[in-house]
Amino acid sequence: MRQGDDVRITCRITKAEGVTTGFEGDVILYRVQALCNDRGSITQGLSMKRYTHFAEFDNALRAVFKADHPHLLANLPRLPPKEYLPQWVLGWFRQKPAADFIEERREALECYLNKISPVPYAGDLELVRKFFGLQPAAAAVPAGAVATTGTEAAAKDDAGVDKKGKGAAR
């Protein structure tokens, strides 16, 4: 059995919401919940991500596969395209057209993430585990136990935006 074949990560994007960061204006944050079954050891992760984080993750993942597993590069799913909404629409994100856009993107991003795990070797990559807020493979808990990680990462994303949408000083 190849490395990574028995590591399965599933995720749900349970929430997508528009927030005001102050510095960057209105952005959409996605709450990503992940469950990893790593050879019988179960871990959970939680993180808050912007579309920019998904794009950076996709670029990094493609670079790793291009260098280490070029024959599998074509197996990676395509990141849904970023479609821009004018700032005034994001400001009114609760209106139906913007809400539909946000929900469609949430669904597309969730589908994208769930297509990564079946690609051989993907589940073993530290890059993938970090994105999902999961423990490193070496820190996995024993079979039957459930570990939860990433809760602090969910409180603030990489851009310093907390769940309430207030920008943090960097």
> Which pLDDT score is estimated for 106?
94
| Range name among 15-29, 68-82, 86-100 with the lowest pLDDT average | 86-100
Cβ within 8 Å of residue 129, ≥6 positions away = 36, 45, 135, 136, 137
> Which pLDDT score is estimated for 157?
44
**% of the chain residues with pLDDT over 70:** 68
> Which pLDDT score is estimated for 162?
46
Q: State pLDDT tens for residues 98-127.
A: 778 888 899 999 999 999 989 999 988 999
At 118, list the tokens.
């079946």
For residue 28, is pLDDT > 50? yes
Q: State pLDDT tens for residues 42-62.
A: 999 999 999 999 999 999 999
Q: Exposure pattern of 76-94 as b/e (b: 16+ CB <10 Å)?
A: beebbeeeebeeeebebbe
Whole-number Å distance between alpha carbons of 57 and 31: 16
Cβ within 8 Å of residue 163, ≥6 positions away = 29, 48, 154, 155
For residue 10, is pLDDT > 80? yes
CB atoms under 10 Å from CB of 95, counted, come to 10
For residue 144, is pLDDT > 60? no
> Which pLDDT score is estimated for 81?
87
| Closest by CA position to 130, among listed 76, 29, 67, 49 | 49
DSSP count for the chain of H helices, then E strands: 5, 4
> Which pLDDT score is estimated for 88?
52
Cβ within 8 Å of residue 166, ≥6 positions away = 22
The pLDDT of 135-154, averaged and rounded, is 51
Supply the pTM of this predicted model.
0.72
The residue among 104 and 63 whose pLDDT is bigger is 63
